[in-house]
Amino acid sequence: MKVMVTGGTGYIGAHVVRGLAEAKHEPIILDDLRASKRERAGSFPLEEVALEDTAGVVDVFARHRPEGVVHLAGSISVGESVRDPDLYWQNNLAAGSSLLLACALHPVKTFLFSSTAAVYGNTDLSPIPETAKLQPTAPYGSSKLAFERLLHRSAPSLGIRSAALRYFNAAGANPNWGVGEDHEPEEHLIPRVIASVVNDKPLHVFGDDYPTHDGTCERDYIHVTDLASAHVKVLEGQHLESGQSFNVGTGSGTSVMQVIDSVGRRLGRSPIVEISERRPGDPATLVADPSALSQQVGWTAQHSSIDEIVDSAVTWAQSRD
């Protein structure tokens, strides 16, 4: 299937593109490179267009006529969304509507959207099922939830089968694909721990008094290779009912200290840890109940033990030195 991948030169998008190609699909990247580099496209076709350029997006669809869309492009920082909410409503909700217009003019069959665990906000449920209350705490999660709803509500009249994938914590790198995580600025834990060790800089851990087994926050880390395979499975799951949102995670939590220990084992030394105040809005635990995706498309994570994730992230970081 010919698949338009927005944000396909980003961290997760670059993996999804390669996962699609390995499964014999034909990915085309739509990305204006605002948060990535051209090299990430590799040999895949790249349309350097901003989502905000509606005429440009429609023209790309007219030329390529994709059957599927995977929409990953967006702004991704919870903290930035609190400082600049307009950017998030513009990029994560309004800009996506040009894709729906392009789909109305040049029909596609399936549309997958990259959503996030942030749509749940603070919840006491663990693991979290898709039926949990949706109460995002920052414009990042609210803007993602708003696009999920816009997509699912527009899809029937456009003849599209829609699905939203709510990623938990994407991490790691595929060892065979030559791409990995390097956001600027980097806010994600695993690359920050690796950088602290390599650069001999202290690592700030926000709070060690949470109600978890070691007092630090627990998250559900999902290997990007597993994320890529989830996209392929959902795209190919023709029997799936349209308008569904699925958690993509493992069902088990790993604490900040467990991540630090794993990096320490892999590198043979650990960072100096400095405990800071809790960050407002950080839930103690965010762990997916991934059973819907497993039951409906037969997907389960295969590479997401914390040691496999950390090993792949370190290998990729070292390959860049």
Ligand X SMILES: NC(=O)c1ccc[n+]([C@@H]2O[C@H](COP(=O)([O-])OP(=O)(O)OC[C@H]3O[C@@H](n4cnc5c(N)ncnc54)[C@H](O)[C@@H]3O)[C@@H](O)[C@H]2O)c1
Contacting positions for ligand X (CB under 6 A): 7, 9-13, 31-36, 50-52, 72-74, 76, 91, 95, 114, 116, 167, 169-170, 183
Q: How far out from the chain centre does Cα 176 lie?
A: 20
Instruction: With beta carbons less than 8 A apart as the criterion, state whether 165 and 113 touch.
Output: yes
Q: Looking at 140, 167, 210, 221, which residue is catalytic?
A: 140
Q: Of 48 and 215, which CB lies nearer to ligand X in the complex structure?
A: 48
Q: Strand 218-219 vs strand 254-255: parallel, antiparallel, or unpaired?
A: antiparallel
Q: How far apart are CA 96 and CA 6, in angstroms?
A: 10
Shortest Å, Cβ 239 to ligand X: 25
Q: Where are the beta strands (DSSP E) in 21-126?
A: 26-30, 46-47, 68-71, 110-116
Nearest to ligand X of 112, 203 (CB atom): 112
Q: Shortest distance, CB of residue 314 to ligand X, whole angstroms?
A: 18
Tell me how far, at minimum, the Cβ of 14 lies from ligand X, in Å: 8
199 Cβ contact partners less than 8 Å away, ≥ 6 residues apart: none
Q: Which residue is nearest to ligand X (CB)?
A: 10
CA–CA separation, 24 and 314 (whole Å): 29
Of 180 and 271, which has the nearer Cβ to ligand X? 180
Active site residue 140: yes
The CB-of-25 to ligand X minimum distance in angstroms stands at 18
CB closer to ligand X out of 35 and 273: 35
CA distance 183 to 318: 16
Catalytic (active-site) positions: 140
